[in-house]
Amino acid sequence: MNKRPPLIAGNWKMNGLRTGGRNLARSLAGWLVETRPAVEMLICPPATLLAEIAASTVGGPLRIGAQDCHEQTSGAHTGSLSAAMLADAGAGVVILGHSERRRLGEDSALVAAKAAAALAAGLRPLICVGETLVERETGIAAQTVTAQLRDSLPPGIAATDLTIAYEPVWAIGTGRHADGATIAEMHALIRRELADLLADGASCRVLYGGSVTPANADAILTLPGVDGVLVGGASLDTESFKAIAMAGGA
C-alpha cells in the first residue's frame, strides 16, 4: 500500500525564536542532503520563521509548512494569516484541524473552508483528525473520526493534494502513544473512508501523530496503513527528529 516514501513531519507549534529555529532547520536540511534517508521530511515552524527558513532551504529536499491559515483571502481579520501569505512566505503545506485548534472551537466545517482556501493559494492541506479520551472510552472513536474526516474535506480535493494525520487527542504531548492495534485499526478506517470519499483515495498519505519518539517510531512506521508520522515535541530536538526519520527510512 505504501507507494511513496514515508513522510516525517514536524509540528513546532508555538516554539522557536529566530536563532534556534534557523539552526534547527539548517541542521536538518544539511543532514537530509548528506544522508538522504528514504523518507520525505517536512517542518512546520511558527509563521514568524517561515520566510527565513524557507529562503534558507529553497531548492533542497526539506519541505516547509505552516500550522494554520484563515479561511478568507484577505480583509479585517486582525492577527490572522491568509493561505496566500503563507505560500508567499515559502510554505508548501499547511496543518489544519489540529486538536489544539479544534479545542478552541474550530469545527470541521471551518477546517474544510480553510482547506479550500489553502488549495486555492497552492498549499497542500495536512488535516488532523482524532478522538478525545472520553470519546474512546465511550466507544465512539470511530464515529468521531469518520465524521471529522467527512466534514473536514473541501469539495473536489484530490487525494494527491491531501495528507491526513490520525492524532488521538489523548496521545498528543502526553508521552502515551496509541498501541499498534489501535493505530492499525484507525488507519484502516480512515483509508476505507478516503476510498469512499475521493476518487483516488488510496493515494492519500495517512500519518500517525501522538507522542512519537525515537523509541517507538520504528514500531509505528512499520504498521500497516501508516505512511509517516506527525511529530510535535520530538521534532524540536534535532537528534530525535533525525532518529525518527532514520526509523522511517530504514
Binding stretches for ligand PEP (CB under 6 A)? 11, 167, 172-173, 209-212, 230-234
Q: How far is the CB of 226 from ligand PEP (least distance, A)?
A: 14
Q: Pick from 191, 197, 176: which is nearest to 226 by CA?
A: 191
Closer to ligand PEP by CB, 108 or 211: give it. Answer: 211
Which residue, 9 or 32, has its beta carbon nearer to ligand PEP? 9
- Looking at 135, 167, 187, 193, which residue is catalytic? 167
Secondary structure (3-state) at 163? strand
- Distance (Å) of CA 193 to CA 8, 59, 75, 185, 187: 23, 35, 35, 13, 10
Q: How far apart are CA 5 and CA 18, in angstroms?
A: 30
Write down the least CB distance from residue 229 to ligand PEP, Å: 8
Closest residue by Cα to residue 225 from 249, 201, 197: 201
Instruction: Judge whether 131 counts as a catalytic residue.
Output: no
Which is catalytic among the residues 40, 70, 71, 98?
98
The smaller minimum CB distance to ligand PEP, of residues 198 and 207, is found at 207
CB-nearer residue toward ligand PEP: 158 or 184: 184
Q: How far is the CB of 76 from ligand PEP (least distance, A)?
A: 30
CB of 180 to ligand PEP, least distance (A): 17
Give the Cα separation of 177 and 167 in Å (integer).
9
**Known catalytic residue at 98:** yes
Query: 78 — phi, psi (to 5°)?
Result: -55, 130
First to last CA, the chain: 17
Catalytic residue list: 98, 167
